[in-house]
Amino acid sequence: MKTRYYLNEEEAISFGERMKDVIKKKGKTQRSISKDIGCCDATVYRMCNGAPGGVDKDLLEKISQALETRLDYLLTGKGEGDDSSK
């Protein structure tokens, strides 16, 4: 059984803002991230634009790896956003 995170509207908007910010800082695009993680462009677009709902943990982990960013940071805004700080 897959683990899913459920983001309410406020959480989804915050997640999307952090995701867009990291994508920009890394010099990537939403389309390049969707290709990196093997999902459709629309999925990444919806996430970046704060669509509430359930998201597979596996997909979130792929996103954080592709962005070289801690998943905790994307979900909560806490901690360092860049994994190079390890």
What single-letter DSSP state applies at residue 70? Answer: -
What does each C-alpha distance from 34 to 16, 75, 81 come to in angstroms?
Answer: 14, 18, 19
User: What is the DSSP annotation of 10-68?
Assistant: HHHHHHHHHHHHHHHHTT--HHHHHHHHT--HHHHHHHHTT--EEEEHHHHHHHHHHTT
- Most confident range (mean pLDDT) of 2-6, 47-51, 81-85 is 47-51
Q: From CA 10, how far away is CA 80, in angstroms rounded?
A: 21
- pLDDT tens track for 39-66: 999 999 999 999 998 889 999 999 999 9
